[in-house]
Chains A and B, each alone.
Chain A
Amino acid sequence: MTSPHLLLALQDAVPALVPADTAWILVATALVLLMTPALAFFYGGLVRSKNSLNTMMMSYVALGFVGILWALVAYSLSFSAGTPWLGGFSNAFLNGVDLAPKGTIPHLLFMAYQGTFAIITAALISGAVVERMRFWPYVVFISVWLLLVYAPVAHWVWGGGWLGTLGVLDFAGGTVVHINAGVSALVAAAVLGTRKDYGRQAILPHNVPFVLLGAGLLWFGWFGFNGGSALAANGSAALAFTNTFLAPMATLVVWSILDTVRTGHVTAVGAATGIVVGLVAITPAAGFVSPVGALALGGIAAFPSYFMILFRSRTRLDDSLDVFAGHGIGGLTGALLTGVFAAKAWGGTDGLLAGNPAQFGKQALGAGASFVYAGVMTFVILKVLGLVMSLRADQKSEGLGLDVTQHGEEAYSSGEGSILVLPDEIATVPVPVAVPIPATR
């Protein structure tokens, strides 16, 4: 069986709406949309307070810009008929995206559901460039990235493109979402360069409870992400849902043990990270592996990401919130282990353990192709953007924090020393009230 996303793209002929399927995908769409605000809390808690609003806004703004571009152009490029490399423009501007069935749900709902994936994938990248990237260049970057990176890769795997046709298994987006975002994040961090304080002073999370809140809400939303990817209210959805329930538990347990062995404590930031890594890893496998396979996959997935985080923090590569270790490595582990644990009896193609090593090879090819394409394209997009606008905030803004300099707001303002500006004075601020006179001797 191929991925349900692909199946739907290929089986437009089936004409009947199924109310139960429609109801579940309506709910799942809302669940996945919630993951973007959840990500804002996860990332927002991990940065310093002076950059917390900026970091959260990097996720929230994707809801607007990426969402609109998805509906107008990127949906068509991803899911309409085209070449094996890219879809066409037949569904551009929502042309032909109506209430008629796509599979067993309304076409319009399918578009909205897939849109929530595009939004969070773009937002995921922000974790690599926080605390230093200017806001508008970031917005332009994720918009262009959606069209030039996300849409083609989504088409390759789910939209009838070459990887899907080849038989690469990606139930809910291990390749399209996580490898894609993780590699792009790695390259973006390298192009942007390190934060000025990186490696010179401790940069600590300003609100660990936010990190835990974000991880919890991500898990909740992920039931829609994986469970909804069956695109029906059926056994496959139940399997994906249950595997999404089990795999992060195993990752959390293994992560806690690794943390204890290394530091003597189970850390809260570690627990939150472990949950997210488990969710990432089970994503491509959710509807293809047995529940016990999901537990094994979740447990194994803790190791590569855990040690990548340790290794990365000793380098000069400032992937600030470890998007690559979490999503790139987690997604890669999940995509490869899908090829190991997938079982025909549970809805997948047989994998390595069931005596089909070729599936492992296909998984590696799919992951590798996305890895290279996303990396190269992100580099090109950022280098070209860097020619026409400055990507980084200047040193002074970075010191003051991006909340004040990019947004003119503070996350935790006491109001002390704030002078109310009356409406007729607004045009005159900001003004220097007291210009010091140079000392004369």
Chain B
Amino acid sequence: MHLIVAIFRPEKLNEVLEALYRAEVRGLTVSRVMGHGGETEHAETYRGTTVKVALQEKVRLEIGVSDGFVEPTVKAILAAARTGEVGDGKVFVLDLAQVHRIRTGERDQAAVTPAVKVGA
């Protein structure tokens, strides 16, 4: 089992969700975060105050997957979130020690496998 954490541009969220849906990846968490990926900063001016905006809005996606799903999930995110400009984001893949499904108490492999296959 692995935890996939992806950080990318908020305007790409819809495309990424669609790509994951097509890759049959179900079950994920999204949060809005601020971050900096080395992209050009933009300046904003409010009356006499000029600021460089160093932190950009990004989204963070967290998905727990079984081993077979790591490759398709990463591929889907890489393809959908890319613009080619600096600041597109990162995908991290982490090993998971344990996973528990709260509803049923199932653990590990069973807990990251969809309980009911969608469309079945």
Chain A interface (Cβ within 8 Å of chain B)? 197, 200-201, 396, 399-400, 404, 408-410, 413, 416-421, 426, 429-436
Contact = CB atoms under 8 A, between A and B. Distances in A.
21 contacts: A197-B14, A399-B9, A408-B43, A408-B44, A408-B45, A413-B44, A416-B34, A417-B36, A417-B56, A418-B54, A419-B54, A421-B43, A421-B51, A429-B41, A430-B41, A430-B42, A430-B43, A431-B41, A432-B86, A433-B54, A434-B36
A9 to B, nearest CB: 44
Contacts of B53: 417-419
Contact of A435 (B38, B45, B46, B83): B38
Contacts of A432: 38-41, 86
Contacts of A429: 41, 43, 50, 52
A433 B41 contact: yes
Contacts of A408: 42-45
B55 interface: yes
Contacts of A396: 83, 85
Nearest to B50: A421
Interface of B: 9, 11, 14, 34, 36-46, 49-56, 83, 85-86
A343 to B, nearest CB: 54
Nearest to A417: B55
A200 B46 CA distance: 34
Contacts of A404: 42, 44
Contact of B46 (A201, A409, A426, A434): A409
Given A396-B85, A432-B38, A409 B44 contact: yes
Given A201-B14, A399-B11, A435-B38, A419 B52 contact: yes
Contacts of A434: 36, 38
Contacts of B11: 399-400
Contacts of B41: 429-433
A414 to B, nearest CB: 8
Contacts of B54: 417-419, 433
Contacts of B37: 436
Given A399-B9, A421-B50, 19 more contacts: A197-B14, A396-B85, A399-B11, A399-B83, A400-B11, A404-B42, A416-B34, A416-B55, A417-B54, A418-B52, A418-B53, A419-B54, A420-B49, A426-B50, A430-B41, A432-B39, A433-B41, A434-B36, A436-B38
A416 B53 CA distance: 8
A430 B56 CA distance: 14
Contacts of A200: 14
A132 B14 CA distance: 19
Nearest to B17: A201
A431 B40 CA distance: 6
Contacts of A197: 14
